[in-house]
Amino acid sequence: MNKWIVPVLAGLTLAPLSNAADLAYLYKDMRIMGMGGANIASGGYSSSVFSNPAGIANLPTDHGFIVELLGINIAASSDASDIVSDLSDAIDSDNEDEIIDVLEKYSGQRTHLDVANYSSVSKNHGNYAWTVGLLAATDVNLTPHANNIDSILEVQSRGYGGITAAYSYTFKKVGNGNIQLGLGAKYLFQKSFEGKLTPADLLNGDDIGDELRDRMESDSDGYSIDLGVIYQFIYMKDLNPAIGLSIMNIGNLDFDDSYGGQPTTVNIGASIEPTIPFIKKTRIALDYVDLFNDNKYRIYNLDESGKVSYSDYKDSDFIKRLRFGISGLIYDNSWSSLEVATGVYQGGLTAGIDFTASVFRLGFATYEEETGPEYGDESDRRYSINLSIAW
């Protein structure tokens, strides 16, 4: 079997079990993840539609139309290439024992891979702003098991996409500041897969795709409305303080309770933009997401029947919902810009860099995802690269 078949099948046709412990998400902009994932009160990107639609009110006004095309984000666990390579080699050997050896080697170790493309057109007119975007993404989670049960490979996977839009309006000088109100909307469709693969399944490369579609595929679609507000204080001009609140995914993006469902969440944040010499723009932000603990921690039951069954438990860990970040726009001129960021996301350090030259943008970020029910149970260091055309 060709070496590429494992990641391709995982991304397009399968999805066995695995503790679904990531807090629900649709798109992670690596510019935001580099600064700890905090963006609710600061905004400033078209991708703010995924955290607070009011944030598009802070898009630059001096760029005219803001276009981001083919914004490919690739994120993976630090060990992703190792497990995919070893498993592919074992499958190529046509030897079930070698597959079992690989599953034993990585037993209990969760591996994540996702690829996303978010393209958008936006414009800030001053007192109002708008954005329209297209999202296409897939993510895969692999967890080998080879201890107290027969050797299997758990997988969760989904492919999803659709259209997003947001509009914001700013009311000037309301009390001690300006109020930015945002309204967002999303329509998305999804194919998700939840199940398990045995070594024999992995060797059956010619028929595995059709079998997994029949056994595990779940198709669904949904829509949601998003509401947001940012209050920007007009005093303390040297700090530009702001507070924000968003209510995201009001509607039916639960995708029939399949993997990838999005709960309705309430999120709060605060930010400042202090003036620092030699740095064009500095942002410091603090967020707390999912205020009422609407995310669930899903544990799958591994039995011999091949049927997917699971139990959902309340996920209420405080540290997993806390985000803090700092970013600095080092320079920004007519042909290039450079921004660096760092922060704390779910208790782990983050870092990022974003460089634009002409119409090309290249970014890198690293963050640590907590994949257990509570902070410190399990963590997954991830690395991401972004390449896009933007102007």
pLDDT mean over 147-159: 80
* Residue whose C-alpha is closest to residue 262's, from 215, 317, 220: 220
Q: Is the pLDDT of residue 210 over 80?
A: no
The model's pTM is 0.90
Give the pLDDT confidence of 106-120 residue by residue, as tens digits. 988 889 999 999 999
Which residue did the predictor score with more confidence, 328 or 300?
Answer: 328
Residue-range domains of the chain with CATH = 5-390 (2.40.160)
Is the CB of residue 241 less than 8 Å from the CB of residue 253?
A: no
Which range among 160-164, 209-213, 236-240, 346-350 shows the weakest confidence by mean pLDDT?
209-213
First vs last Cα of the chain: how many Å apart? 42
Beta strands in 146-261 (DSSP E): 152-174, 177-197, 217-233, 242-251
Q: Is the pLDDT of residue 1 over 50?
A: no
Q: Model confidence at 91, in pLDDT bands (50, 70, 90)?
A: confident
Tell me how far apart the alpha carbons of residues 184 and 206 are, in angstroms, rounded to a whole number. 43
φ, ψ at 9 (rounded to 5°): -65, -40
Tell me how far apart the alpha carbons of residues 25 and 18 are, in angstroms, rounded to a whole number. 17
Is the CB of residue 273 less than 8 Å from the CB of residue 325?
A: no
Tell me how far apart the alpha carbons of residues 66 and 64 are, in angstroms, rounded to a whole number. 6
Give the pLDDT confidence of 211-225 residue by residue, as tens digits. 666 677 889 999 999
Residues 6+ apart with CB under 8 A from 211: 201, 204
